[in-house]
Amino acid sequence: MKNFFWALFIIIFLSSVIKADFSLAQQKVEINFFYSAICPHCEKEKEFLKELKEKYPEIEIKEYEVISNPENKEILNQFYEKYQVPEKDKGWVPITFTPDKYFIGFNQQIAEDIESCIKECLIGEKPAPQKIKI
């Protein structure tokens, strides 16, 4: 009888661990990408994000063109406020917001940093903060 209770305990424990791991794997990581249609760096980052989405289907990429769309500028202002972006960093594109960081501009190093941040969020090393309500 004692072995039965131990076996039952182990089964319950393992099922809760497996369930927790499964929920982490199902967690969506939201990426908010603000760009200009005439910006060459923005176009390169768009391609990079498309490839990243294929590699990590768990990410959700939201794109906002800010030059011709005033509503998207307002959304960008909300992100500036939430992430406490300094005045000197405002107004530049591309700007990309991951769950816990933002990145201005685009080059190989920024691409690596964005991917690293996404990996950390997907494996649960960093909690994804609350979404900005839009």
Domain ranges of the chain: 28-122
Q: Is 25's pLDDT higher than 80?
A: no
User: Could you say which architecture CATH assigns to the domain 28-122?
Assistant: 3-Layer(aba) Sandwich (3.40)
Q: Which long-range contacts (CB under 8 A, 24 or more apart) does 39-45 make?
A: 39/93, 39/94, 41/93, 41/94, 41/105, 41/106, 41/107, 42/93, 42/94, 42/106, 44/106, 45/94, 45/96, 45/106, 45/111
More confident residue, 131 or 74: 74
- Read off the pLDDT of residues 76-102 as tens digits, 9 standing for 90 and up: 999 999 999 999 999 999 999 999 899
